[in-house]
Amino acid sequence: MASGVDLGSSSESQDPYERLGISADAGFEEVQRARESSLKAAGDDPMARARIETAYDAVLMGRLRERQSGSISSAAVTASRLESQSASSSSATPVNTPALLTRIRNLSLPSPNFSSDGFLPSLRLVEGQGLLIRLIAGGVGLLLLLAAPTAVDLVLALSTIGLFISQVKRGRRPLGALGWSLALVALGLVLGAVIGALLATQTGLPVNPILFEAVPAYLVLVAGILLLL
């Protein structure tokens, strides 16, 4: 007879005995042990812990009703006094009320995670059809950028939006995706300004500052779309 609960397979079960992993004739001490081992297995998951406490309350209330109707099992009779003490606090109110209080009592907020694992990006090339679509769109955007410098703002805006959507689809949270999209476009613009200034200084040739800022920024954004997770 199992004394724990498999949270993955029984979380959807409506039978409190199945949730606790015990049979209907289990004694009070066995019910207690099943509750403790189930809570330990649930860890810090507030929903799983609430389901376990709800199942525990339901078992106690069911035993109380069985005693009142005279149909209690022989195994439960031996622990009737202990169960009466544990259930006395909830017998004067409806079943849902102690279940709700139990959820509130055992609710724990997740601890904030300030580790760099969820903030720093990972690099992995897109695969399959997504890679082909991104390459085609990137080539079209680059041609438009070179052929129509007046469309610089539009191309960079669409590329930034594309980078944001790409990160979200690959699993990054929207706020983080927005931050990295803005960071990459800013990095590209700074890089373009530096390259344009160096070319103008070294070659003495006139350069289009807008275009030399936009092309590196666009390439950085395309690289982010292809690689950033």
Q: Does residue 14 surpass a pLDDT of 80?
A: no
pLDDT 10s digits, 94-106:
445 556 656 665 5
Euclidean distance between the first and the last CA atom of the chain, given in angstroms as a whole number: 46
> Which pLDDT band holds residue 65 (cuts at 50, 70, 90)?
confident
> Which pLDDT band holds residue 6 (cuts at 50, 70, 90)?
very low
Whole-number Å distance between alpha carbons of 54 and 159 = 50
Q: Does residue 2 surpass a pLDDT of 80?
A: no
Domain ranges of the chain: 7-106, 129-227
Whole-number Å distance between alpha carbons of 10 and 110 = 23
Q: Does residue 226 surpass a pLDDT of 50?
A: yes
Q: What is the pLDDT of residue 8?
A: 41
DSSP state for residue 123 in the 8-state scheme: B
Tokens at residue 90, please?
A: 């909830």
> Which pLDDT band holds residue 118 (cuts at 50, 70, 90)?
low
> Which pLDDT band holds residue 66 (cuts at 50, 70, 90)?
confident
What percentage of the chain's residues is helix, strand, coil (to nearest 5)? 70, 0, 30
